[in-house]
Amino acid sequence: MKRCSLYGLTGLILIFVMFVSVPTFGADTLKIGSFLSVTGPASFLGDPELKTLQMYIDDINSKGGIDGKKIEFIHYDTKGKAQEAKKYVNRLIKKDRVDVIIGGTTSGNTLAVIDIVQNAHVPLISLAGSVKIIEPVKKWVFKTPHTDRMAAAKIYEDMKKRGISKVALITGNGGFDKSGRAQCLALAPKYGITIVADEQYGNSDTDMTTQLTKIRATDAQAILNFGFGKAPAIVTRNVRQLGIKLPLYQSHGVASKKFIELAGKAAEGVRLPAAALLVADLLPDSDPQKRVLIDYKTKYEAKYGPVSTFGGHAYDALFITLGAVKRAHSTDRAKIRDEIEKTHGFIGTGGIFNMSPKDHLGLGLDAFKMLEIRNGTWTLVD
């Protein structure tokens, strides 16, 4: 009994100390707020993001903080719901009075809070994919993940190098597929590419030979499949089954070992763009990103297991923020915002960031690496 109450007392004191000590350090802390989808349908994105933020913030605090300031990290889980995202962002701004916000995990969550941060004048760095977050440019909103458009551009660039100008497009009916299809269609003229076939399939379909038979009858020089999950593996196999010899391109949606495993021998020769983090080991030592990627990968994997690009987006957002705070020598929201916008030459896991008043993402096409599957594994093409 006595032991229990002793523990209880210690706990109480600890809580007391925590609550009391924070405000006293108030002026000397940087308050970072975040709202991520750690549980719910997007948990496979939000979970590594939160783990990454916590790991690095603890690490930095144990080394004395940033620019002489300790970081206070306040996090809420939106469970993937836009309504919760709005509620928590309001709380972060009004009650917790954070200096900068990192989140949300999904495009839906981010788009829901843009008006709030714009009106409250709080800098926000989103970890979501949609181009709409930063186009048109919003003064207080930034993001770190690459976009579908960049993946499409990367593919077209590679096609151009190989002298391909007629492309057959085949996509699924999911959100990722549709957005990818729209970007592929929109970008094609810019690269002098004609889309000669635009076929679609359902993501739970079991056979795509029909669509591919139609493609075979066109004069396409390459097939581009923008998809996610098992369907691209079926497409890959069906292409080989029909004896189609055209080069096959996949999107970054299948950039995982699982794809090679599922498609088996049919995957040989398939090309796809992938985030550099997935192929960190393959990069030449001269690649400026290599050290950052290996460091992040080793650190994350030592603590939590296999790394994902999503956690990498959180890494980039955190260090862009910290860089801005360091340059601003202040926790003033407006000053931090200005410095985030001036981020230049920051080497992150997603690529090299060069932000500007016109570009609140700041990634070039080098964010993606073009890969070819050879002998059952990735090979760098460029």
| Residue 133 engages other proteins in binding (rule: CB under 8 A) | no
Task: Tell me how far, at minimum, the Cβ of 24 lies from other proteins, in Å.
Answer: 46
Stretch touching other proteins by CB under 8 A, among 32-40, 98-106, 194-202, 329-337: 194-202
Q: Tell me how far apart the alpha carbons of residues 182 and 199 are, in angstroms, rounded to a whole number.
A: 13
Stretch touching other proteins by CB under 8 A, among 143-151, 158-166, 204-212, 267-275: 204-212
Whose Cβ is closer to other proteins: residue 118's or residue 200's? 200
| Residue 41 engages other proteins in binding (rule: CB under 8 A) | no
| Residue 234 engages other proteins in binding (rule: CB under 8 A) | yes
Whose Cβ is closer to other proteins: residue 11's or residue 264's? 264
| Residue 178 engages other proteins in binding (rule: CB under 8 A) | no
| Residue 261 engages other proteins in binding (rule: CB under 8 A) | yes
Stretch touching other proteins by CB under 8 A, among 28-36, 60-68, 112-120, 262-270: 262-270
Instruction: Indicate the burial class of 345 (C-beta count within 10 angstroms; 0-12, 13-18, 19 or more).
Output: exposed
**Nearest Cα to 207, choosing from 177, 171, 231?**
231
For residues 193 and 156, is the Cβ–Cβ distance under 8 A?
yes
For residues 188 and 166, is the Cβ–Cβ distance under 8 A?
no
Stretch touching other proteins by CB under 8 A, among 13-21, 54-62, 64-72, 197-205: 197-205
Whose Cβ is closer to other proteins: residue 114's or residue 242's? 242
Per-residue b/e over 130-146, b at no fewer than 16 CB within 10 Å?
Answer: beebbeeeeebbbbbbb
Task: Tell me how far, at minimum, the Cβ of 205 lies from other proteins, in Å.
Answer: 8
User: Distance of alpha carbon 347 from its chain centroid, rounded?
Assistant: 15
Q: Binding mask 46-85 vs other proteins (x if CB under 8 A, - otherwise)?
A: ----------------------------------------
Among 54, 61, 118, 209, binds other proteins (CB under 8 A): 209
**Nearest Cα to 319, choosing from 297, 350, 287?**
350
Among 83, 90, 204, 377, binds other proteins (CB under 8 A): 204
Number of residues that bind other proteins (CB under 8 A): 29
| Residue 213 engages other proteins in binding (rule: CB under 8 A) | yes
Whose Cβ is closer to other proteins: residue 210's or residue 298's? 210
Q: Tell me how far apart the alpha carbons of residues 334 and 40 are, in angstroms, rounded to a whole number.
A: 33
Among 23, 243, 306, 345, binds other proteins (CB under 8 A): 243
| Residue 229 engages other proteins in binding (rule: CB under 8 A) | yes
Whose Cβ is closer to other proteins: residue 118's or residue 203's? 203
The helix-helix angle for 309-328 and 43-62 (nearest 10°) equals: 40
CA angle 190, 196, 199 (to 5 degrees): 110
Question: Which helix (DSSP H) or strand (DSSP E) does residue 201 occupy?
Answer: none
Residue 81: partners with Cβ closer than 8 Å, 6 or more residues away: 40, 109
Partners of 77 in the β-ladder: 36
Q: Tell me how far apart the alpha carbons of residues 13 and 51 are, in angstroms, rounded to a whole number.
A: 27
**Nearest Cα to 248, choosing from 227, 262, 230?**
227
Residue 336: partners with Cβ closer than 8 Å, 6 or more residues away: 99, 100, 123, 321, 324, 325, 328, 330
| Residue 217 engages other proteins in binding (rule: CB under 8 A) | yes
Among 87, 132, 138, 230, binds other proteins (CB under 8 A): 230
CA angle 332, 335, 341 (to 5 degrees): 140
Task: Tell me how far, at minimum, the Cβ of 307 lies from other proteins, in Å.
Answer: 17
| Residue 241 engages other proteins in binding (rule: CB under 8 A) | yes
Task: Tell me how far, at minimum, the Cβ of 23 lies from other proteins, in Å.
Answer: 43
Q: Which residues bind other proteins (CB under 8 A)?
A: 44, 199-202, 204-207, 209-211, 213-214, 217, 229-230, 233-234, 237, 240-243, 258, 261-262, 264-265
